[in-house]
Amino acid sequence: MLRDVEASDADAYVRMRCDPAMMAELGGPLPRDGIEAKVDTDVRRTRADEWWVSMIVPDAAAPEVVAGTVALWSHEEGEEAGLTEIGWMVLPEFQGHGYAKRAVRDMLERARDDGRWGVVHAFPGVTNAASNALCRSVGFTLVGERNTTFAGRDLRTNHWRIDPSTGLR
Ligand SMILES: CC(C)(COP(=O)(O)OP(=O)(O)OC[C@H]1O[C@@H](n2cnc3c(N)ncnc32)[C@H](O)[C@@H]1OP(=O)(O)O)[C@@H](O)C(=O)NCCC(=O)NCCS
């Protein structure tokens, strides 16, 4: 199941965003220093229902144990203002069990039912085999390749898109 991000998820953020293996396809590990600020922003924006930042919870009876995260947001600045993006990460000990795929599908079903987000875009690295497989199997359409900025890094990515009201598999 998915639940909203909380301040106590900072440890999971560190294990995801500051780890070289987890960040191999995302430009390398991020500095430890910025994590609390990022969690605070995600919590505040999610509580305000402006972004949806969710933690993936394998066992509803233990909601503090997280397998990873999935997030949906609309860009607010620049040439891509208004573009809705989805992103995901699953911790190494939970990878390969379908958590990312289920979480992305759950988030897109929620977006479809909410109706405000429109077409949703995803930008996995061109060599990110698992994320590109996930996009294909959930029902995204491949638009092509492009450069994408993530946390200030320029990445070579694929561009996938899906209309959750018609495209979900
Ligand atoms: C990418 C990531 C989220 C996948 O999470 P996961 O829970 O292991 O993925 P799932 O088990 O849901 O599998 C999703 C798809 O990827 C495939 N897959 C999983 N691991 C794979 C691998 N190592 N190589 C190739 N395909 C793989 C699965 O078969 C599945 O495809 P299918 O539906 O066609 O069978 C996870 O590995 C991760 O967080 N990696 C580091 C951070 C990252 O790259 N984030 C994504 C940025 S876009």
**Domain regions of the chain by residue span:** 2-162
CA distance 149 to 55: 23
The angle subtended at Cα 43 by Cα 49 and Cα 84, nearest 5°, is 50
Ligand 1: residue of 134, 135, 136, 149 to mutate (most ligand atoms within 8 A of CB) is 134
Q: CATH topology for 2-162?
A: Aminopeptidase (3.40.630)
Protein residue whose Cα sits closest to atom 15 of ligand 1: 134
Q: Which residue has the tokens 């875009």?
A: 121
Q: What is the mean pLDDT of the chain?
A: 97
The count of residues in the chain is: 169
Ligand 1: residue of 22, 89, 132, 159 to mutate (most ligand atoms within 8 A of CB) is 89
Closest ligand 1 atom number to CA of residue 128: 44
CA distance 140 to 79: 22
Give pTM, 2 decimals.
0.97
CB 164: neighbour CB atoms within 10 A? 25
pLDDT digits (tens, 9 = 90+) for 25-68: 999 999 999 999 999 999 999 999 999 999 999 999 999 999 99
